[in-house]
Amino acid sequence: MTDTTVSSPVTLERDGGVATVRLNRPDAMNALDTATKEALLTTLREVAEDESVRCVVLTGSGRAFCVGQDLKEHVQQMQSDSFGLGSTVQEHYNPVVELLATMDKPVIAAVNGVAAGAGASFAFATDLRILAASAGFNMAFTGIALSCDSGASYHLPRLIGTARAKELLLRPRTVKAEEALSLGLASEVVADEEFEAHVREVAQTLAAGPTKAYGAVRRAVAFSAGHTLSESLAHEGELMNSTGATADHRAAVAAFLAKEKPVFEGR
């Protein structure tokens, strides 16, 4: 296992095929100042491009997952004549969410504590959201008179429906873990003391799986959300062709015929 300097606002820990990207400002509840946003974007680009990484885990240090924009820095920036929230949305939040949602490997949000604003939106962009029992979500945007960002308007309605999404956006409150599970915001909820071990187990299982197939499934689901049935069927055919040509598929078929368990190499 390797990791980056612990003083960094974002650390990267590698364990076999699993890369854990950890927001590392526990005293600030992992609020997103400029340095953290830039480090997060750089780190996600690194793991997205690294074919030895077969599963990515996004999590936080301390008692929070991420409470969104650092408001202390935000107040300082508001004094500038050139200030505009749109710039950080375009430069930081949007590419972070696109990487989380589209990289060619599965991504887990290990929500260890409160996830608010952009922090919640980041979690919604991933494939699986594993919550500690003490964790929760809060769509805090309108509480400070802002619209939503980081893909909240895209992913939240797809997870829980338009009506519920608007309710949580217009009347922000903390949705605790068990309610998040019942709404469909959480994939599963795990006792705090079992949380890290369970996340590690799920991530390692995915990292040992058919990575190219997982990436194709991500693309298929995203494509079909905005296209017709005929277009989606055609796209599925293209993805079946590409995954059918992988070494993992050939190995899986051979293992099936031999009545053995397949070993996937992610290629």
**Domain identity same for 9 and 104:** yes
Instruction: Identify the domain boundary among 176, 191, 207.
Output: 207
What pTM did the predictor assign? 0.92
User: Rounded CA gap, 163 and 224, in Å?
Assistant: 21
Whether 167 and 95 map to the same domain: the answer is yes
Locate all alpha helices (DSSP H) within the chain, ordered by sequence: 34-49, 71-77, 85-88, 94-102, 118-124, 152-160, 162-170, 177-183, 195-207, 211-224, 229-244, 247-257
Which amino acid is residue 152, in one-letter code? A
pLDDT value at residue 75: 58
CATH classification at residue 62:
3.90.226.10
Q: Average pLDDT in the 165-169 region?
A: 97
What pLDDT sits at residue 88?
A: 85
- Report pLDDT for 133: 98
CATH of the domain at 226: 1.10.12
Tell me how long the chain is.
267
45 plus 139 within the same structural domain: yes
What does the pLDDT read at residue 87? 84
User: What's the rounded mean pLDDT across residues 191-197?
Assistant: 98
Provide, rounded to the nearest whole percent, the portion of the chain with pLDDT above 70. Answer: 92
Is the same domain home to 97 and 228? Answer: no
Taking all residues of the chain, what is their mean pLDDT, rounded to a whole number?
A: 93
Q: Lowest-confidence range among 64-73, 202-211, 214-223? A: 64-73
Structure tokens at 71: 């408001």
pLDDT digits 0-9 by tens, 92-151? 999 999 999 999 999 999 999 999 999 999 999 999 999 999 999 999 999 999 999 999
What span, in angstroms and rounded, lies between the C-alpha atoms of 121 and 139?
8
pLDDT at residue number 15: 96
Three-state DSSP at 69 gives strand
Q: Number of structural domains, the chain?
A: 2
User: Residues 181-202: what's their mean pLDDT?
Assistant: 98
7 pLDDT tier (thresholds 50, 70, 90):
confident
- pLDDT given for residue 2 in this prediction: 47
Helix then strand then coil, in percent of the chain rounded to 5, is 50, 20, 30
Strand order in the sheet with 174-176: 64-66, 114-116, 136-138, 174-176
Are 233 and 166 contained in the same domain?
no
Q: What is the pLDDT of residues 60-109, one digit of tens each?
A: 999 999 999 986 665 566 566 555 566 888 899 999 999 999 999 999 99
Residues 15 and 69 reside in one and the same domain: yes
Q: How far is CA 256 from CA 169, 187, 210, 217, 259, in A?
A: 48, 30, 15, 21, 5
CB count in 10 Å sphere of residue 63: 14
Kindly state whether residue 250 falls inside one of the protein's structural domains: yes
Residues 139 and 231 reside in one and the same domain: no
Domain that holds residue 234: 211-257
Mean pLDDT value of segment 195-214: 97
DSSP structure class, residue 52: T
Same structural domain, 215 and 84: no
Do 221 and 190 belong to one domain?
no
* 85 and 108 share one domain: yes
pLDDT for 168 beyond 60: yes
pLDDT above 90 covers what percent of the chain? 89
- Residue 266 maps to a domain: no
